[in-house]
Amino acid sequence: MKRKAIASYFFAAAGIFVIWQIVALLTHIPMIPSPILVLETLIDIFLSDIAIHAGYSFLRIIAGLLLAVVIGYPLGIMMGYFKKCDRFLSPFVYLTYPIPKISLLPIIMLILGVGESAKILMIFLIIVFQVVIAVRDGIREIPKETFFPLISLGASFKHFFFYVLWPATLPKFLTAIRVAMATAISVLFFTETFGTTYGMGYFIMDAWLRVNYLEMYAGIVALSYIGLIIFCFIDFLETLSCRWQKRR
Is 83 an interacting residue with respect to other proteins (CB under 8 A)? no
- Distances in Å between the Cα of 223 and the Cα atoms of 8, 102, 136, 190 are 22, 19, 32, 13
CA angle in degrees (0–180, nearest 5) for 23-24-28: 115
Q: Pick the closer one to other proteins by CB: 105 or 134.
A: 134
Q: Is 209 exposed, middle or buried (CB count within 10 Å of its CB: 0-12, 13-18, 19+)?
A: exposed
Does 11 bind other proteins (CB under 8 A)? Our answer is no
Q: Does 167 engage in binding with other proteins (CB under 8 A)?
A: yes
Among the listed ranges 71-79, 111-119, 122-130, 151-159, the one in contact with other proteins (CB under 8 A) is 151-159
CA distance 172 to 168: 8
Interaction of residue 100 with other proteins, rule CB under 8 A: no
Q: What is the C-alpha to C-alpha distance for residues 198 and 54, in angstroms, rounded to an integer?
A: 8
Closer by beta carbon to other proteins, 32 or else 142: 142
Cβ neighbours of residue 24 under 8 Å, at least 6 residues apart?
Answer: 32, 33, 34, 35
> Applying CB under 8 A, does 230 fall inside the site for other proteins?
no
According to the binding rule CB under 8 A, does residue 151 interact with other proteins?
Answer: yes
Nearer to other proteins, 5 or 145 (CB): 145
Binding site for other proteins (CB under 8 A): 145-146, 148-155, 159, 163-164, 167-168, 242-244, 247-248
